[in-house]
Chain A
Amino acid sequence: MSELDDLMKAYGEAGGDKAVLENTEIAHLVASGRKLLSMKNVKGLEVDARETLTGISVKVTIKEGVKIKNPVHLCFGILHNKGTQKIKMDVKLEKNASAYFIAHCIFPKAEKVKHIMDAVAEVGENAEMRYSETHYHGLYGGIEVIPKAVVKVGKNGRYFTDFNLITGRVGSLAIDYEVEAGENAVTELTARVFGHANDEIKIKEKVVLTGENSRGLIKTRVALEDEAKAEVTGITEGSAAGARGHVDCVEIVKDNAVASAIPVVKVTNPLAKVTHEAAIGSVDKRQLETLMAHGLTFEEAVDIIVKGILK
């Protein structure tokens, strides 16, 4: 079997839809380690992807007014138990452009694997970018994931991202996202992570609302069991009139897990408003009792509550 077949097999097992690779209407890019295995483009999407010494470098441009109809599928992975993959992404959506990226990151056998994502994105005036990233890790925990993104959203622009790591061991995760929102811009950052064993999770997300009437939401959902640890930092700054920001963090801990949340809210304009809420603790007693009064056991109830917050 070729490396592409292997990766696609893992992709399929992880819930990915292999048919997208054959569909000529859908753009995709598949890379295993430092190798580009498959790529397809669609009209309006300009992609310059290269193999580098440590991974892949991708530059994406979507010209003014171009709306990419179908989601662009990205698949990154390392199938071996060891290796490093550094993805450099540079995305630019010009005025009135729009695109939706669906990324799958697959590391089924990771024992000593490092995956670094270094992304820069520019979302132009009135443009809309959605980026959804889902990780599938194996059961060994020997993986280090370091996603970093710096995003600038222009006037009336929209940027939505979600990061999901709820299948397999997390290993060590250090997210560092920063989004700056211009006038009337809207941004939402969501992260959902389930930590087990001695997984270590660090999530730092920052939204800077520099434009008038800009909106920002940072939503984090973490569940932890065994000895896992998580530290969630949600930072929102509002510096323009009418800017509205909110930080919403829920962490559920079981066993000996340790969770912390550091919401940082800062306002430098009296007409800006930033709020935060954080709920950290064991599973809510009233939620548990309600489900148990429906006939579910304690364990079944915990499972449903945890799955719910990670959905």
Chain B
Amino acid sequence: MALLEITGLTYMTHGKEILSGLSFSIEASEVHALLGTNGTGKSTLAYLIMGCEGYRPTSGEIVFDGNVINDLKIHERARLGITMAWQEPVRFEGISVKDYITIKNKDADPAYYLEMVGLHPELYLLRMVDKSLSGGERKRIELASILALNPKLAILDEPDSGIDMLSTQDIINVINAFKKNGSAVLLITHREEIALIADKASQICRGKIVCAGSPREVAEYYKARKCLVCDGEVCAYV
């Protein structure tokens, strides 16, 4: 059985269907790219898997490691091994980088995880996870903190986007670090070159998976804008 198995997932909010009977799975230790243009439902899917407030399936099932997790709270899912890095990580006043990385896993060596995301521990351990960090630094620290959790599944929501985006090489390094831990990764992106890092890929459009397979195949399909769901209407905007 797959590590994450989603079947017929529909999510409606404010009378609008954002996800429409979406089915999708990720094997243990697999790096899976979820490719899609803006507004296709990538973050919504991530929030449904993580269990964020207000994100409960309207219908369908999310099964993780053999458990139906539809109604579990975020921390309960985290304790089963799911975690997530938001597209724009939030800042915290009065929490040092060192304490942040070890916030749940007290035995983790924060210096080791900082090095994994390309930051010099001696320059960062005692800094605060607050406004004094740049967006790029904050993103790296967030990734270090979820690496330290040793998750079974890490959801990375567009680590390559935003003003302070991480470079493709940075992302490859982080993905390799998760691989080394044996973690599966759901790598959300709107750039096909990032999807190529993954073991498998799926393209999402209007809340449905429109293409799944090898990253190369899916990237080709995505690039060609042949999407049948929107007839190129959504997928043409890149």
Contacts and interface: CB of A to CB of B under 8 A. Distances in A.
Given A289-B53, A289-B74, A304-B95, A296 B90 contact: no
A284 interface: yes
Contacts of A301: 75
Nearest to B155: A293
Nearest to B77: A293
A307 B103 CA distance: 13
Given A292-B73, A293-B84, A294-B104, A311 B93 contact: yes
Contacts of A297: 75
A250 B84 CA distance: 27
Contacts of A60: none
B94 A311 contact: yes
B103 A296 contact: yes
Contact of A295 (B79, B89, B90, B94): B79
Contact of B52 (A289, A296, A298, A307): A289
A253 to B, nearest CB: 16
Interface residues of B, number: 23
B85 to A, nearest CB: 9
B53 A310 contact: no
A52 interface: no
Contacts of A308: 92-95
A295 B75 contact: yes
B145 interface: yes
Interface in A273-311: 284-287, 289-298, 301, 304-305, 307-311
Interface centre among B74, B83, B103, B146 (most CB of A within 10 A): B74
B90 A287 contact: yes
B89 A290 contact: yes
B171 interface: no
B28 interface: no
Contacts, number: 62
B24 interface: no
B142 to A, nearest CB: 8
A139 to B, nearest CB: 24
Contacts of A296: 75, 78, 103-104
Nearest to B89: A290
A309 B93 CA distance: 5
A146 B53 CA distance: 42
B75 A304 contact: no
A290 B53 contact: no
Contacts of A298: 73, 75
Contacts of B83: 293-295
Contacts of B90: 284, 286-287, 290
Interface string B58-77: 00000000000000011100
Name B's interface SS: loop
Nearest to A299: B75
Contacts of A305: 92
A301 B74 CA distance: 12
A296 to B, nearest CB: 6
Contacts of A307: 94
Nearest to A300: B75
Interface string A6-34: 00000000000000000000000000000
B95 A293 contact: no
Contacts of B145: 294
Contact of A294 (B52, B73, B146): B146
Given A304-B95, A308-B95, A293 B78 contact: yes
A284 B53 CA distance: 12
Contacts of B82: 293
B93 A294 contact: no
B53 A285 contact: yes
Given A295-B75, A296-B104, A298-B75, A290 B86 contact: yes
Interface in B69-124: 73-75, 78-79, 82-84, 86, 89-90, 92-95, 103-104
A290 B146 CA distance: 10
Given A285-B53, A304-B103, A295 B78 contact: yes
Nearest to A310: B94
A295 B104 contact: yes
Closest 9 CB pairs of A and B: A311-B94, A308-B94, A292-B74, A295-B78, A292-B75, A295-B104, A286-B90, A308-B95, A294-B104
Given A293-B50, A294-B146, 20 more contacts: A289-B52, A289-B74, A292-B75, A293-B74, A293-B75, A293-B82, A293-B83, A293-B146, A294-B83, A294-B103, A294-B104, A294-B145, A295-B79, A295-B83, A295-B104, A297-B75, A298-B73, A298-B75, A308-B94, A310-B94
Interface of B: 50, 52-53, 73-75, 78-79, 82-84, 86, 89-90, 92-95, 103-104, 145-146, 149
18 contacts: A221-B93, A250-B93, A286-B86, A289-B74, A290-B90, A291-B103, A292-B74, A292-B78, A293-B82, A294-B83, A294-B149, A295-B78, A295-B104, A296-B78, A298-B75, A304-B95, A308-B92, A311-B93
